[in-house]
Amino acid sequence: MRLLNCLLGILVAVVGFWLIWGTLAPIVVLGWALVVGIFLWLKAESITEIWAWATLLLGLESFAWPVVLMIQLKGPSESLPEAEMGTILSAVVLGLFSSVFWISFSYGLFKRAWRTDQPLSDDEPTRTPISHSRNRKVV
């Protein structure tokens, strides 16, 4: 089950990488898949951690997408045509929205994966719920 989730996490990160860079040699995309695969296999100890790392990578890729697009559209002239400015604005808005979503999602997964449910220690007093029936005044 861990292997299947690791492969799906790799697929998510690689598709995000491929969407950012667009026209890359397939060997570069395969290299990124290999790096992500090794990282997920060695770093993530549970399925939750695999998806936390995969969604964090997707969030970082979403954040980098507008920057990469600006670099690709940069031409020799000082100003860009209006159509390219609209493309950049759309990329910035969508990229920031999706990166905040995916990074927040990965934060929740990390928090869940690294949560430690420990019982109360002997030093701490046990808490008992207050019964509301005992505190009522009879008139």
What's the pLDDT tens digit per position in 73-110? Answer: 776 667 777 888 888 888 889 989 999 999 999 999 99
List strand residue ranges (DSSP E) for 1-110, in order: none
* Residue showing tokens 């999602």: 105
What's the pLDDT tens digit per position in 22-79? Answer: 778 889 999 999 999 999 999 988 999 999 999 999 999 999 988 888 887 776 667 7
Tokens of 64: 């980098």
Q: Evaluate whether 6 touches 40 at the Cβ level (below 8 Å).
A: yes
Q: What is the pTM of this model?
A: 0.75
Bigger pLDDT: 123 or 83? 83
**Which phi and psi angles does 74 have, rounded to 5°?**
-65, 125
